[in-house]
Homo-oligomer: A and B are copies of this chain.
Amino acid sequence: MTTELSQTEPTQFVEAAGIRFAYRRFGQTGGVPLVFLQHFTGTMDSWDPLVVDGFARARPVILFDNAGVARSSGSTPGNVQAMAEHAVAFITALGLKQVDLLGFSLGGFIAQVIAAEHPELVRRMILAGTGQEGGEGIRNLPQVLEQARQHSPDELRLFLFFEQTPTSQRAGREFLARQARRTADRDPESSEQTVGAQFTAIVAWGADADGRATARLQRITQPVLIVNGKNDIMVPTVNSFTMFRQLPRARLTLYPDSGHGGLFQYADAFVNEGVRFLGE
Protein backbone atom coordinates (compact mmCIF):
# COMPACT_ATOMS: atom_id res chain seq x y z
CA MET A 1 0.00 0.00 0.00
CA THR A 2 1.19 3.49 -0.77
CA THR A 3 1.06 6.20 1.86
CA GLU A 4 -2.11 8.25 1.69
CA LEU A 5 -1.43 11.11 4.03
CA SER A 6 -4.21 13.11 2.39
CA GLN A 7 -6.67 10.70 4.05
CA THR A 8 -5.44 11.04 7.61
CA GLU A 9 -3.49 14.25 8.03
CA PRO A 10 -5.30 16.42 10.62
CA THR A 11 -6.45 19.94 9.84
CA GLN A 12 -4.51 22.73 11.53
CA PHE A 13 -5.18 26.43 11.84
CA VAL A 14 -3.04 29.57 11.60
CA GLU A 15 -4.03 33.21 12.03
CA ALA A 16 -3.02 35.93 9.54
CA ALA A 17 -4.50 39.24 8.37
CA GLY A 18 -7.44 38.71 10.70
CA ILE A 19 -8.30 35.35 9.10
CA ARG A 20 -8.07 31.95 10.78
CA PHE A 21 -6.86 29.74 7.92
CA ALA A 22 -7.54 25.97 7.88
CA TYR A 23 -4.68 23.97 6.37
CA ARG A 24 -2.95 20.60 6.21
CA ARG A 25 0.80 20.21 5.81
CA PHE A 26 2.41 16.85 5.13
CA GLY A 27 4.70 14.85 2.82
CA GLN A 28 8.48 15.08 2.61
CA THR A 29 10.10 17.34 5.16
CA GLY A 30 12.98 18.65 3.04
CA GLY A 31 12.75 21.05 0.12
CA VAL A 32 10.50 23.89 -0.97
CA PRO A 33 6.83 23.19 -0.07
CA LEU A 34 4.21 22.92 -2.81
CA VAL A 35 1.13 25.02 -1.95
CA PHE A 36 -2.11 23.94 -3.65
CA LEU A 37 -4.50 26.72 -4.78
CA GLN A 38 -8.01 25.41 -5.25
CA HIS A 39 -10.72 25.84 -7.89
CA PHE A 40 -14.15 27.54 -7.85
CA THR A 41 -16.29 26.04 -5.02
CA GLY A 42 -13.49 23.64 -3.96
CA THR A 43 -12.17 22.90 -0.47
CA MET A 44 -9.11 20.99 0.81
CA ASP A 45 -11.13 17.83 0.22
CA SER A 46 -11.86 18.54 -3.45
CA TRP A 47 -8.31 17.58 -4.49
CA ASP A 48 -7.57 14.17 -5.99
CA PRO A 49 -5.71 12.04 -3.41
CA LEU A 50 -3.70 10.48 -6.27
CA VAL A 51 -2.32 13.92 -7.11
CA VAL A 52 -1.84 15.19 -3.55
CA ASP A 53 -0.24 12.00 -2.23
CA GLY A 54 1.79 11.61 -5.41
CA PHE A 55 3.42 14.98 -4.83
CA ALA A 56 3.63 14.39 -1.06
CA ARG A 57 5.84 11.33 -1.62
CA ALA A 58 8.42 13.61 -3.27
CA ARG A 59 7.82 17.09 -1.82
CA PRO A 60 6.37 18.82 1.25
CA VAL A 61 2.78 19.76 0.36
CA ILE A 62 0.34 22.26 1.86
CA LEU A 63 -3.42 22.34 1.29
CA PHE A 64 -5.47 25.22 2.66
CA ASP A 65 -8.83 26.94 2.49
CA ASN A 66 -8.51 30.54 1.42
CA ALA A 67 -10.36 33.33 3.30
CA GLY A 68 -14.03 32.46 3.84
CA VAL A 69 -13.73 29.03 2.21
CA ALA A 70 -15.01 26.01 4.18
CA ARG A 71 -13.39 26.12 7.64
CA SER A 72 -11.35 29.31 7.16
CA SER A 73 -12.86 32.39 8.78
CA GLY A 74 -13.58 35.72 7.11
CA SER A 75 -15.49 36.27 3.92
CA THR A 76 -14.39 35.39 0.40
CA PRO A 77 -13.52 38.49 -1.64
CA GLY A 78 -14.98 39.04 -5.13
CA ASN A 79 -11.68 39.55 -6.94
CA VAL A 80 -8.54 37.54 -7.67
CA GLN A 81 -6.17 40.24 -6.39
CA ALA A 82 -7.57 40.06 -2.86
CA MET A 83 -7.56 36.24 -2.95
CA ALA A 84 -3.86 36.40 -3.86
CA GLU A 85 -3.18 38.75 -0.96
CA HIS A 86 -4.93 36.37 1.44
CA ALA A 87 -2.89 33.45 0.12
CA VAL A 88 0.35 35.38 0.60
CA ALA A 89 -0.69 36.27 4.16
CA PHE A 90 -1.35 32.58 4.86
CA ILE A 91 1.99 31.44 3.37
CA THR A 92 3.87 34.14 5.27
CA ALA A 93 2.13 33.21 8.53
CA LEU A 94 3.58 29.71 8.19
CA GLY A 95 7.03 31.32 8.23
CA LEU A 96 7.77 30.29 4.64
CA LYS A 97 10.16 32.43 2.62
CA GLN A 98 9.77 30.51 -0.66
CA VAL A 99 7.18 28.08 -2.02
CA ASP A 100 6.16 26.31 -5.19
CA LEU A 101 2.55 26.82 -6.30
CA LEU A 102 0.08 24.43 -7.90
CA GLY A 103 -2.89 26.50 -9.08
CA PHE A 104 -5.91 24.82 -10.63
CA SER A 105 -8.49 26.95 -12.50
CA LEU A 106 -9.33 29.90 -10.20
CA GLY A 107 -6.31 28.78 -8.17
CA GLY A 108 -4.21 29.29 -11.30
CA PHE A 109 -5.45 32.88 -11.63
CA ILE A 110 -4.37 33.48 -8.03
CA ALA A 111 -1.01 31.77 -8.61
CA GLN A 112 -0.24 34.08 -11.55
CA VAL A 113 -0.88 37.19 -9.46
CA ILE A 114 1.26 35.91 -6.59
CA ALA A 115 4.16 34.96 -8.90
CA ALA A 116 4.08 38.32 -10.66
CA GLU A 117 3.79 40.46 -7.54
CA HIS A 118 5.93 38.40 -5.12
CA PRO A 119 8.67 36.97 -7.34
CA GLU A 120 10.91 36.25 -4.34
CA LEU A 121 8.20 34.09 -2.73
CA VAL A 122 7.58 31.75 -5.68
CA ARG A 123 10.29 29.36 -6.91
CA ARG A 124 8.32 27.32 -9.48
CA MET A 125 4.68 27.11 -10.49
CA ILE A 126 2.31 24.53 -11.96
CA LEU A 127 -0.78 25.92 -13.70
CA ALA A 128 -3.60 23.47 -14.48
CA GLY A 129 -6.87 24.14 -16.32
CA THR A 130 -6.37 27.87 -16.18
CA GLY A 131 -5.77 30.99 -18.25
CA GLN A 132 -4.44 34.53 -18.28
CA GLU A 133 -6.59 37.54 -17.30
CA GLY A 134 -9.05 38.24 -20.11
CA GLY A 135 -8.44 34.75 -21.53
CA GLU A 136 -10.77 33.36 -24.17
CA GLY A 137 -14.11 32.08 -22.86
CA ILE A 138 -13.43 32.58 -19.13
CA ARG A 139 -16.21 35.17 -18.92
CA ASN A 140 -18.71 32.58 -20.17
CA LEU A 141 -18.88 30.86 -16.78
CA PRO A 142 -22.59 31.76 -16.29
CA GLN A 143 -23.57 30.07 -19.57
CA VAL A 144 -21.38 27.04 -18.89
CA LEU A 145 -22.92 26.56 -15.44
CA GLU A 146 -26.41 26.94 -16.93
CA GLN A 147 -25.56 24.19 -19.43
CA ALA A 148 -24.11 22.02 -16.66
CA ARG A 149 -27.32 22.20 -14.66
CA GLN A 150 -29.23 20.84 -17.64
CA HIS A 151 -26.84 17.96 -18.18
CA SER A 152 -26.19 16.36 -14.81
CA PRO A 153 -28.01 17.83 -11.84
CA ASP A 154 -26.46 15.36 -9.40
CA GLU A 155 -22.82 15.70 -10.27
CA LEU A 156 -21.78 18.90 -11.97
CA ARG A 157 -18.12 17.99 -12.05
CA LEU A 158 -18.61 15.03 -14.41
CA PHE A 159 -19.84 17.53 -16.98
CA LEU A 160 -17.56 20.44 -16.09
CA PHE A 161 -14.26 18.60 -15.52
CA PHE A 162 -14.42 15.67 -17.98
CA GLU A 163 -14.91 15.10 -21.68
CA GLN A 164 -18.23 13.75 -22.95
CA THR A 165 -16.76 10.35 -23.87
CA PRO A 166 -17.29 7.03 -22.04
CA THR A 167 -13.56 6.83 -21.17
CA SER A 168 -13.34 10.33 -19.74
CA GLN A 169 -16.66 10.04 -17.90
CA ARG A 170 -15.50 6.76 -16.34
CA ALA A 171 -12.28 8.49 -15.27
CA GLY A 172 -14.46 11.23 -13.81
CA ARG A 173 -16.47 8.79 -11.71
CA GLU A 174 -13.22 7.23 -10.46
CA PHE A 175 -11.95 10.71 -9.55
CA LEU A 176 -15.16 11.48 -7.64
CA ALA A 177 -14.85 8.22 -5.71
CA ARG A 178 -11.22 8.97 -4.79
CA GLN A 179 -12.04 12.53 -3.83
CA ALA A 180 -14.82 11.33 -1.48
CA ARG A 181 -12.63 8.76 0.29
CA ARG A 182 -11.66 10.86 3.26
CA THR A 183 -14.43 10.74 5.85
CA ALA A 184 -12.98 12.03 9.13
CA ASP A 185 -12.20 15.71 9.69
CA ARG A 186 -13.60 16.58 6.28
CA ASP A 187 -14.20 20.15 5.12
CA PRO A 188 -17.81 21.35 4.83
CA GLU A 189 -18.99 22.46 1.38
CA SER A 190 -18.29 26.07 0.40
CA SER A 191 -20.91 28.57 1.53
CA GLU A 192 -23.18 30.56 -0.79
CA GLN A 193 -21.13 33.65 0.09
CA THR A 194 -17.92 31.95 -1.09
CA VAL A 195 -19.47 30.56 -4.29
CA GLY A 196 -21.01 33.92 -5.18
CA ALA A 197 -17.83 35.88 -4.53
CA GLN A 198 -15.69 33.39 -6.48
CA PHE A 199 -18.16 33.52 -9.37
CA THR A 200 -17.83 37.31 -9.41
CA ALA A 201 -14.04 37.08 -9.28
CA ILE A 202 -13.86 34.61 -12.19
CA VAL A 203 -16.16 36.62 -14.46
CA ALA A 204 -14.16 39.77 -13.66
CA TRP A 205 -10.87 37.95 -14.44
CA GLY A 206 -12.41 36.96 -17.79
CA ALA A 207 -13.19 40.56 -18.79
CA ASP A 208 -11.00 42.29 -21.38
CA ALA A 209 -7.60 42.95 -19.83
CA ASP A 210 -6.00 44.86 -22.71
CA GLY A 211 -2.24 44.61 -22.38
CA ARG A 212 -2.35 43.93 -18.64
CA ALA A 213 -2.50 40.14 -19.01
CA THR A 214 0.45 39.98 -21.37
CA ALA A 215 2.48 42.33 -19.18
CA ARG A 216 1.79 40.17 -16.12
CA LEU A 217 2.77 36.94 -17.89
CA GLN A 218 6.00 38.47 -19.14
CA ARG A 219 6.90 39.49 -15.60
CA ILE A 220 6.63 35.89 -14.38
CA THR A 221 10.21 34.74 -14.88
CA GLN A 222 9.92 31.60 -12.76
CA PRO A 223 9.81 28.20 -14.51
CA VAL A 224 6.17 27.24 -15.10
CA LEU A 225 4.58 23.92 -16.04
CA ILE A 226 1.20 24.36 -17.76
CA VAL A 227 -1.17 21.40 -18.11
CA ASN A 228 -4.71 20.98 -19.30
CA GLY A 229 -7.12 18.54 -20.94
CA LYS A 230 -7.93 18.71 -24.64
CA ASN A 231 -11.38 20.22 -24.40
CA ASP A 232 -11.70 22.39 -21.30
CA ILE A 233 -15.15 24.01 -21.33
CA MET A 234 -14.54 26.14 -18.22
CA VAL A 235 -11.19 27.72 -19.16
CA PRO A 236 -10.79 26.86 -22.86
CA THR A 237 -7.59 24.92 -23.64
CA VAL A 238 -6.33 27.51 -26.11
CA ASN A 239 -5.53 29.72 -23.11
CA SER A 240 -2.91 27.18 -22.00
CA PHE A 241 -1.17 27.57 -25.37
CA THR A 242 -1.41 31.37 -25.12
CA MET A 243 0.14 31.37 -21.64
CA PHE A 244 2.89 29.02 -22.88
CA ARG A 245 3.78 31.47 -25.64
CA GLN A 246 3.80 34.55 -23.42
CA LEU A 247 5.45 33.22 -20.27
CA PRO A 248 9.25 33.48 -20.58
CA ARG A 249 9.99 30.03 -19.13
CA ALA A 250 6.95 27.79 -19.52
CA ARG A 251 6.52 24.25 -20.69
CA LEU A 252 3.16 22.90 -21.80
CA THR A 253 1.48 19.50 -21.56
CA LEU A 254 -1.99 18.83 -22.96
CA TYR A 255 -3.76 15.50 -22.47
CA PRO A 256 -6.08 13.71 -24.92
CA ASP A 257 -9.74 12.79 -24.34
CA SER A 258 -10.14 15.07 -21.33
CA GLY A 259 -11.32 18.41 -20.06
CA HIS A 260 -10.75 20.87 -17.22
CA GLY A 261 -9.86 18.01 -14.87
CA GLY A 262 -7.12 16.56 -17.08
CA LEU A 263 -4.70 16.70 -14.14
CA PHE A 264 -6.93 14.22 -12.28
CA GLN A 265 -7.77 12.01 -15.27
CA TYR A 266 -4.03 11.61 -16.00
CA ALA A 267 -2.95 11.78 -12.36
CA ASP A 268 -0.02 9.36 -12.77
CA ALA A 269 1.46 11.14 -15.78
CA PHE A 270 0.79 14.53 -14.22
CA VAL A 271 2.50 13.67 -10.93
CA ASN A 272 5.43 12.08 -12.77
CA GLU A 273 5.99 15.20 -14.85
CA GLY A 274 5.24 17.59 -12.00
CA VAL A 275 7.68 15.92 -9.60
CA ARG A 276 10.39 15.92 -12.28
CA PHE A 277 9.69 19.60 -12.99
CA LEU A 278 9.83 20.62 -9.31
CA GLY A 279 13.00 18.58 -8.82
CA GLU A 280 14.94 20.30 -11.62
Contacts and interface: CB of A to CB of B under 8 A. Distances in A.
Contacts of A269: 276
A142 interface: no
Chain B CB within 10 Å — which of A241, A248, A250, A252 has the most? A252
A244 B249 contact: no
Contacts of A272: 272, 276
Interface residues of A toward B: which range? 10 to 19
Contacts of A208: none
How many copies of this chain does one complex carry? 2
Given A230-B244, A244-B230, A223 B276 contact: no
B251 A244 contact: no
A223 B256 contact: yes
A249 B230 CA distance: 10
A191 B26 CA distance: 61
Interface in A230-280: 230, 241, 244-245, 248-257, 269, 272-273, 276
Given A252-B253, A269-B276, A272-B276, 16 more contacts: A223-B256, A230-B244, A230-B245, A241-B241, A244-B254, A249-B256, A249-B257, A250-B256, A251-B253, A251-B254, A251-B255, A251-B256, A252-B252, A252-B254, A272-B272, A273-B273
